[in-house]
């Protein structure tokens, strides 16, 4: 039985367009709800998930010494766990 690729692709496109419309409606509803919250006195940058001005976001960089100290602690932690697991097996 031959497969009609053109028809299959058209059906896939139709389904994806329907899903896109559904998602667009949900986005609109969320934006409306967000707008309602803003009218209640909540700052817009908070509701949009944007950082406050002057505050830098992101991950703090570790110095090599800090990294080494963490590595030593983790080695000790895992060695302790392995020894406890070995003791339980025996």
Q: Is the pTM of this model over 0.85?
A: no
pLDDT at position 1: 63
Q: Is residue 72 a contact partner of residue 65, using CB atoms and an 8 Å limit?
A: no
Q: Is residue 44 a contact partner of residue 38, using CB atoms and an 8 Å limit?
A: yes
H/E run at residue 32 = helix 5-39
Is residue 67 scored above 90 in pLDDT?
yes
Question: Which of the two residues, 37 and 65, has the higher pLDDT score?
Answer: 65
Q: How many CA atoms lie within 13 A of 77 on its CB side?
A: 6
Q: What distance in Å separates the CA atoms of residue 88 and residue 82, rounded to the nearest whole number?
A: 10
Is residue 88 scored above 90 in pLDDT?
no
């Amino acid at each position: 039985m031959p497969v009609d690729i053109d028809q299959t692709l058209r059906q896939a496109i139709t389904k994806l367009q329907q899903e896109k419309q559904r998602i667009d409606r949900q986005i609109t509803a969320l934006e409306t709800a967000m707008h309602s919250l803003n009218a209640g006195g909540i700052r817009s940058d908070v509701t949009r998930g944007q950082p406050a001005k002057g505050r830098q976001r992101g991950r703090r960089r570790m110095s090599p010494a800090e990294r080494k100290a963490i590595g030593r602690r983790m080695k000790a932690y895992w060695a302790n766990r392995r020894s406890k697991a070995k003791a339980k097996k025996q």
